Amino acid sequence: MHNKDKVLNRLYRAIELYRELGFEYLPLKKDDVEGFLKRNVAREAYPSPKLKKEAAVWQGNKADGLKVLKDKISDCKRCKLSETRNNIVFGEGSPNADIMFIGEGPGREEDLQARPFVGDAGKLLTNLIVKLGLKREDVYIANIVKCRPPGNRNPEDDEVASCSSFVEEQIGMIRPKVIVCLGRIAAQALLKVKTPISRMRGNFFQYSDIPVMPTFHPAYLLRTPKDKWLTWDDMQKVLKKLG
């Protein structure tokens, strides 16, 4: 797709979202739109590696915004994962959460129940949340991709690219105080890096102005229980960051 077409498609999706929220018009002039296209087409054509990722800040009711977004992607066919899924796993939790957990993608149980982290790895995550003195309803849980990769394989680059705007919109609406990336794929996709999770975990990074703590995925901890204490140590740093 041509750079200008990408920007126009992004603009169309934004306008469609405002229309679904009840806006009948936007106070824009022709010069505003032309200026937007000129700036963004140039940015798409010549991306700067130093350009800091900025999450759009949602100004309306968070719960309403998440519902609109969930409805908008309810029949998503952006990538081939739509051909094999049972359900889209949007995410769940408090729209006012201080902590947002982001995994890589749904597994078998998640695909069947349309809920994130409900299998064995999900039980471990829930136990971790409880040990932090919280409940699942207090946090928000989502994934980088919303549909299950066949056989629980890793999401492919084109699938991550097709789905990444959805989790970015969720972050922009929720505006958590801290994001916890569960596993390599979630951390690398959100932070746009290739660093191994073993080197990232335990250290804070930034997504826009939000601190991000990468840590091990619960599925890895089920296979390697000796490393559970490392994730617990990471979560103590998260609690300290929250004050």
What DSSP character marks residue 22? T
pLDDT beyond 60 at 21: no
Out of 49-53, 91-95, 177-181, 230-234, pick the least confident. Answer: 49-53
pLDDT beyond 70 at 9: no
Beta bridge partners of 141: 92, 101
**Strand, coil or helix: what is 141?**
strand
pLDDT beyond 80 at 88: yes
Give the integer Cα–Cα distance in Å for 191 and 49.
12
Give the integer Cα–Cα distance in Å for 113 and 107.
10
Tokens of 93: 């939790």
Tokens of 236: 């103590």
Out of 52-56, 175-179, 211-215, pick the least confident. Answer: 52-56
Q: What is the pLDDT of residues 111-164, one digit of tens each?
A: 999 999 999 999 999 999 999 999 999 999 999 999 999 999 999 999 999 999
Domain ranges of the chain: 3-45, 62-242
Concatenate the DSSP letters of all residues of 66-86 into one string: HHHHHHHTTT--SSGGGGT-S
pLDDT score recorded for residue 14? 59
* pLDDT-above-70 percentage for the chain: 75
Q: Which of 219, 189, 187 is nearest to 203 (CA)?
A: 187
Indicate the pairing of strand 92-93 with strand 99-103.
unpaired
- The CATH number of domain 62-242 is 3.90.1010.10: no
Q: What is the pLDDT of residues 176-212, one digit of tens each?
A: 999 999 999 999 999 999 999 999 999 999 999 999 9
Tokens of 27: 């106070």
Provide mean pLDDT across the span 35-47. 44
pLDDT score recorded for residue 27? 53
Out of 37-46, 81-90, 172-181, 187-196, pick the least confident. Answer: 37-46
**Strand, coil or helix: what is 209?**
coil
